[in-house]
Amino acid sequence: MTEPAETPPIDHAFLGDRRGPAHDPTYAGALSFMRRRYSKDVAGCDLVVWGVPFDLAVSNRPGTRFGPQALRRASAIFDGDAQYPSRIDPFETLSAVDYGDCVLPRSDLQGCARAIEKEAAGIIASGAHLVTLGGDHFITLPLLRAHVARHGKLALVQFDAHQDTWDDGVGAISHGTFVLEAVREGLIDVERSIQIGIRTVAPRDCGIEVIDAYAAHALGVENTVARIKLRVGAGPAYLTFDIDALDPAFAPGTGTPVAGGFTSDEALRMVWGIRDLDFRGMDVVEVSPPYDHADATAIAGSAVAQHYIQALALKKAG
């Protein structure tokens, strides 16, 4: 009698390799991002995915501290198959781990900023590419500090409903001021930076080019992508994707929703369209599960990160 074929074990998050597909059912197993193995050992890694469950800087609805959990849960559907649109399994090329979440001193907001920067800097120093799951948009400021310390001043490519250039005072812990603070600290190359999907009015643009939502819709995806590429050029850049760049119909689970945003399709095609830019890191922020429906927001946010990871794999593969 023929013995049945051995069933691969689930819980790739604990038992799997850094490369290759997982075999966990979508509905079972430990929920790391795209089933990558959990590890604090990043030596030799091409990619590290990391969560920052921080939402103490919001100006409206809280809940983004649960964003990393939701993004991991939504990402479970991706792994184990060739990915769309690249049609490759990125983990055949990339050695990747899920680093878990940043430990934050809840009673010390400035301490939270230092903790994010320090832990990110340690990961980046290994040579790994860091993809961060937020968290509210304040976390991009300490992330930029860590990336700039390694790579020098970066162009900022920001998908967002808000410019985040309000002035709440130097050193403020606010998700609406991180761009202004980054400019003040000299982290951003404003001449090459661009914000896409803006549909609120901020007091200043800091010299950063803005393609507001009406303009982006009028341009269409291909022309918007061309504008982004023209602005950023060949130099190093950082991508930050606030999920409220999407219309609330596609991303209801966020703290400060604004009508008139992108569809999931438009956003993903733009992220894919700029895949050849020299990104040194990225984050997906402002996913707030308490306001989500059927994981729609988390699915969109995880797809943004998944598209970015596919692009990393294509670049490594040449």
Residues annotated within the binding site for Mn(2+) are 137, 160, 162, 164, 242, 244
User: Are residues 154 and 187 in contact, defined by beta-carbon separation less than 8 angstroms?
Assistant: yes
How far is residue 192's CA from residue 188's CA, in Å, rounded to a whole number? 9
Rounded Cα distance, 97 and 186, in Å? 31
φ, ψ at 42 (rounded to 5°): -105, 5
Residue 6 is classified by DSSP as P
Separation CA 149–CA 255 (nearest Å): 30
Kindly calculate the radius of gyration of the chain based on its CA atoms and give it in whole angstroms: 19
Q: Which positions make up the binding site?
A: 137, 160, 162, 164, 242, 244
* Closest C-alpha to 225, from 275, 300, 281, 163: 275
